[in-house]
Amino acid sequence: MDSITLKKMKETVEKLKVAKSELISSYEEGYIGKKVYRVTLADGSSRLCEQITKNKRNGDAVIILPITTDGNFVMILESRPNTEENVVAEFPAGMVDPGEEPIASAKRELLEETGYEAEELYELECHYQDQGCSKAKIRIFVAVGCKKVQEQRVEDSEKIECFEMTYDEILKMLRGESEVPAEILDSGSKLAFMTYTLKKKGIL
């Protein structure tokens, strides 16, 4: 990148930063809430900004990519009534509780949703869930050396079954070549597996 373009980009970032934020309204009676802010940018322009909240907070969450001692991946089939398919395949995930470190959330969700524990967890990447209307950050963790230590302990509202799958079987699912009667359509699960693959190949 040439120096002129880089300078222009830096100037753009500075003028688009938020200089002032004023809460106009807030509705957080149920699980899904909404806050409306009037934000003023450094360039002097202002506009209304809507923020979705979950359970009266940002909705920060974790996704876990569990790898067993045999090199298999642990995936779950979960009831998702809002989707056209109703049942989808995804990696274990869950929200970060108030005051909880994300890695602790990852350990807790892995154990609750699958009954597996990991020898080691490390953060793979971090992204916003939907930066257009949410502050929620999603952190993806890789859990290596996973072993089954107990049965699942999920909430009554959660309908989850877990399965071990090979790397190639997951690739087939993503390519639409699998006999598994469910698809991986969750963006976080796709991002987790693709990022893991790119880093494994030394591309990232």
Domain ranges of the chain: 3-54, 61-200
Residue 156 has pLDDT above 80, yes or no: no
Among candidate residues 69, 76, 63, 72, the one with its CA nearest the CA of residue 106: 63
Residue 93 has pLDDT above 80, yes or no: yes
> What's the pTM?
0.91
Task: Output the pLDDT for position 28.
Answer: 86
Place of tokens 């360039």: 43
Please tell me the CATH code under which domain 61-200 is placed: 3.90.79.10
pLDDT band at 153 (very low <50, low <70, confident <90, very high): confident
Q: Minimum mean pLDDT among 28-32, 67-71, 110-114: which range?
A: 28-32
Give the residue, 77 or 157, on which the prediction is more confident. 77
Stated as kind and residue range, the H or E segment containing 14 is helix 3-15
Task: Output the pLDDT for position 160.
Answer: 87
pLDDT band at 89 (very low <50, low <70, confident <90, very high): very high
Task: Output the pLDDT for position 154.
Answer: 75
**Contact at 8 Å (CB) between 193 and 65?**
yes
Residue 163 has pLDDT above 90, yes or no: yes
Task: Output the pLDDT for position 47.
Answer: 95
